[in-house]
Structure formats: C-alpha cells, structure tokens
Amino acid sequence: MTTSNRHPFALLGAAASLITVLGFVGIKGLDDDGHQPTQTSATGGTPAPGPTSTRDRPASTEVTCTVTDELGDGQKAETLRLTIGGSTYRLSIDTRRPRQRLTLRYTRPARLDYLIMADTLFTDGTLRRGGGRGSIACSGGEAYAVAGDYDADPARIILERS
C-alpha cells in the first residue's frame, strides 16, 4: 500500500468533485435472480466512499425502473446489448431461461436515452438481427419490456412501457 502526505478528506473531496463534474447518476442493474447482467462498459461506476456514521450520511432517494426481455412465440434464444444511462448491459435468454429482468437504480429521476441491439434465433433456425433507439423515463417504479417488429428488415427493437 502506498501512503500519501495528503489528508484523507481532501482526497474524498476531490473524488466527490470529479463525480459531480462527470454528472454521476449511480446505476445498478440486477436481473430476476439478483445477479448483475454482464456490463460491457464500466461507465456506470461505483459511488465514492461516503460518511461512515449514519448521523453524517445525507438522506438518499433511490428511484428504480425495470427492463424485461422475454422469449416470444417462435423464438428460441435472444441476446441483447442495451446501452442506457451511460452503461452497456448484455442480456441473454433462451428456452432454459426464457425471461430476464434488469433493474436500474438511480439517485434521482432521469430521462434516459437508450440504444438496443438484438440477435434473435427462431425455432426454424432463422437468425434475425435488429435494433433501435429511444428514451425512457425513470422516476420510480416504471416497467419497460423489449418489443420487436421482426417483419422489418432489419428487425426494429424498442422498449415499451408495460
């Protein structure tokens, strides 16, 4: 471990300033089983260390929203890459695990732009690729479902309020 002559609170202040400048919104995604889906970019981050005493800790408000992907009729497997709120998540479903839910947690309400890309394998062996973009509101308790128009070429994939 390296030691420094700097005061530890000065380092905390610098870290807090950097997080404020970057506009950190604190994201944590969990699936139905309480596992974090694969995050392919580390831009979500971990909050800076906070006060250790509950007396010194400011009251925090947490807002959550969920995104659910579920196999549709004739689908055998699907892999999604969802970039939302500065983080990219990978969700994979198949006949053994036909549904996956991502819970996003934020420190304040937010309107989030997203980009979604999907590879969907159908039971007849057809592989369809597609994607889409849009925005969702996360002010607390909203639920969104992945929806696709597979007749379009490429398939059009969006998040719909459910």
- Could you read off the pLDDT of 13-24 as tens digits, one per residue? 433 333 333 333
Output the pLDDT for position 55: 52
Distance CA 12, CA 15 (A): 5
60 or 2, greater pLDDT: 60
Hey, what CATH class is 25-45+59-161 in?
Answer: mainly beta
Which distant-in-sequence residues (6+ apart) come within 8 Å of 159 by Cβ? 67, 114, 116, 134, 136, 144, 145, 146, 147
107 or 28, greater pLDDT: 107
134 or 49, greater pLDDT: 134
Domain spans of the chain, in order of start:
25-45+59-161
Output the pLDDT for position 42: 35
Average pLDDT over residues 70-82: 97
Model confidence, pTM: 0.65
What tokens does 16 get? 């807090």
Confidence of residue 90 (pLDDT cuts 50, 70, 90): very high
Distance CA 79, CA 120 (A): 7
The string of pLDDT tens digits covering residues 102-158 is: 999 999 999 999 999 999 999 999 999 999 999 999 999 999 999 999 999 999 999
